[in-house]
Amino acid sequence: MENFSLIGMISIITAGLTIAIGSIGPAIGEGRAVAQALTAIAQQPDEAGTITRTLFVGLAMVESTAIYCFVVSMILIFANPFWDYTVSQAGG
């Protein structure tokens, strides 16, 4: 019965740390991009449209790295092939 317990513990730790560590970079990167966008709008109000559009495309790309982490985290909690196999073994 030990195998699935160990796999479970490891999955919990990894799921949590993946999204915790993985949110540091995107949060700081996005904060920086947003901050600069506001400066840019203040400096060139007539280009607010172009700036906002470029900002959102950029934020989407930065957010994508956070989403990779979230996806891996969710896979480890709800669709973990190693856990499925070990549980099926324990039940077999």
Is residue 92 near a copy of itself by the rule CB under 8 A? no
Write each residue from 58 to 77 as x if it is in contact with a copy of itself (CB under 8 A), else as -, in one continuous string.
xx-xxxxxx-xxx-xx-xxx
Alpha-carbon separation of residue 91 from 3, 34, 80, 81, 88 (angstroms): 12, 51, 16, 15, 5
**Site for a copy of itself contains 88 (CB under 8 A):** no
Distance CA 87, CA 92 (A): 8
16-45: contacts with a copy of itself (CB under 8 A): 16-45
Q: Does 84 bind a copy of itself (CB under 8 A)?
A: no
